[in-house]
């Protein structure tokens, strides 16, 4: 099936118009009478999926508003709503949040620095074995996350034994691990955009006398920017939510937010965790809203995850 992709990006292709006009007049056998049960069932089924998917987050936010006594504090639906737990988030959780933000931000940045040149090289380089090279860049996603975690832990031990520099439990060690799994997202999204890139734009820029660098900065970069945003967002979120890698590479007193939550839940948890978790959910919503304003959600997704 060869389907011209450029046709779908414009929502008003001529074919679409024709079928839309045709659809107004009944062509072929008249539609069956009665209610469209299939459609209703479809909507019903979809609402079930949404309830399934969103209920845990709604429950977390709801339960964080509980205002009662300490010992009955985890309760949904909450009685006597209050924001008391939001003021009682302990320092440890705030520090963990801070570390996660910093780490995720730097991971997104690093993933772009490694990923954008990689995507440019994959799409435009004249090299044999391109499939193999892009497979290498995708490989970190094929390796189960927990395997990556233990692999880096053992790598750091071995490296430490050999050189005396132990990365385990340091920011750099954690950063390398996160960078490893986050970079493929940037490579994927930027590659997807570059493959649709009209190189005549660059030729036009050259023929108008622009230098290579200025062409890249003022023509190429703006075009691939949605892909970069999408990839950076994926990289940020993957790093920000990661457990299986961080659990091996953090140390007591040096934990990311998901790990702090993870250990908090294994032991008896304090309801302030609900409050900080709700803040994270709101933060994700906010980021999403920003992305929608910046590039649009559909562009974000069309540039493709993975």
Partner 1 sequence: MKTRWEFVLLPSFVIIGILIVASQYVFLNGSFYKDMGLGRIGDSATMVNYIRFFTDSFYLNTLWITIKTSALASIFTLILGFPVAYLIARMRSHWSMLLLAGIVVATFVTIVIKVFGLIILFSADGLINQVLMGIGIVDRPYTIIGNQTGVVVGLMHFTLGFGVLLLYSVIQTIPRSLEEAAQIHGASRWRMHMRVLLPLSLPGVTVGALMIFNMSMGAFTSAALLGGGRVFTLPVLIQRTVMMEVKYSMAGTLAAVLLVTVLLINLLAIFLIRRLRAARLVIA
Positions 72 through 111 that interact with partner 1 (CB under 8 A): 74, 76-77
- CB of 279 within 8 A of CB of 57? no
- CB of 275 within 8 A of CB of 54? no
Cβ proximity to partner 1, 94 vs 136, nearer residue? 136
Convert 45-59 to b/e letters by CB count within 10 Å (16 or more is b). eeeeeeeeeeeeeee
- Quickly list H helices, 125-253: 130-142, 145-163, 171-195, 200-207, 212-215, 221-241, 246-249
The CB-of-230 to partner 1 minimum distance in angstroms stands at 11
The H or E element that residue 90 is part of is none
- Using rule CB under 8 A, residue 7 touches partner 1: yes
Per-residue DSSP letter, 197: -
Q: Which stretch binds partner 1 (CB under 8 A): 85-93, 124-132, 161-169, 221-229?
A: 124-132
Cβ proximity to partner 1, 52 vs 87, nearer residue? 52
Q: Which of 40, 88, 154, 195 binds partner 1 (CB under 8 A)?
A: 154
The CB-of-223 to partner 1 minimum distance in angstroms stands at 16
DSSP 44-69: HHHHHHHHHHHHHHHHHHHHHT--S-
The CB-of-137 to partner 1 minimum distance in angstroms stands at 6
The CB-of-253 to partner 1 minimum distance in angstroms stands at 16
State both tokens at 200: 């005549």
Cβ proximity to partner 1, 55 vs 82, nearer residue? 55
Displacement of CA 220 from its chain's centroid (Å) = 24
Q: Which of residues 189-228 bind partner 1 (CB under 8 A)?
A: 206, 212
Cβ proximity to partner 1, 13 vs 225, nearer residue? 13
Q: Which stretch binds partner 1 (CB under 8 A): 80-88, 89-97, 146-154, 164-172?
A: 146-154
């Amino acid at each position: 099936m060869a389907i011209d992709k450029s046709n779908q990006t414009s929502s008003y292709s001529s074919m679409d118009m024709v079928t839309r006009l045709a659809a107004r007049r009944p062509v072929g056998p008249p539609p069956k009478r009665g209610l469209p049960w299939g459609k209703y069932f479809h909507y019903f089924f979809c609402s079930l999926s949404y309830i399934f998917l969103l209920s845990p987050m709604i429950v977390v936010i709801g339960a964080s508003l509980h205002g009662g006594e300490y010992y009955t504090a985890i309760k949904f639906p909450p009685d006597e709503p209050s924001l008391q737990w939001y003021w009682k988030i302990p320092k440890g959780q705030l520090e963990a949040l801070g570390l996660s933000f910093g780490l995720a931000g730097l991971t997104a940045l690093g993933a772009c620095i490694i990923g954008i040149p990689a995507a440019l090289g994959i799409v435009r380089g004249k090299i044999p074995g391109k499939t193999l090279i892009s497979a290498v860049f995708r490989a970190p996603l094929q390796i189960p996350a927990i395997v990556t975690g233990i692999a880096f832990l053992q790598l750091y031990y071995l490296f430490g034994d050999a050189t005396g520099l132990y990365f385990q439990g340091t920011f750099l060690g954690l950063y390398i691990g996160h960078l490893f799994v986050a970079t493929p997202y940037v490579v994927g999204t930027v590659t997807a955009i570059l493959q649709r890139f009209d190189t005549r734009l660059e030729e036009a820029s050259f023929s108008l006398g622009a230098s290579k660098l200025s062409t890249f900065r003022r023509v190429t970069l703006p075009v691939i920017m949605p892909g970069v945003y999408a990839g950076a967002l994926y990289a940020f979120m993957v790093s920000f939510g990661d457990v299986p890698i961080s659990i091996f590479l953090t140390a007591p007193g040096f934990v990311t937010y998901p790990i702090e939550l993870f250990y908090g839940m294994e032991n008896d948890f304090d309801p302030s965790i609900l409050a900080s978790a709700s803040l994270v959910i709101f933060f994700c919503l906010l980021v999403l809203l920003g992305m929608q304003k910046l590039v649009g959600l559909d562009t974000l997704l069309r540039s493709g995850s993975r």
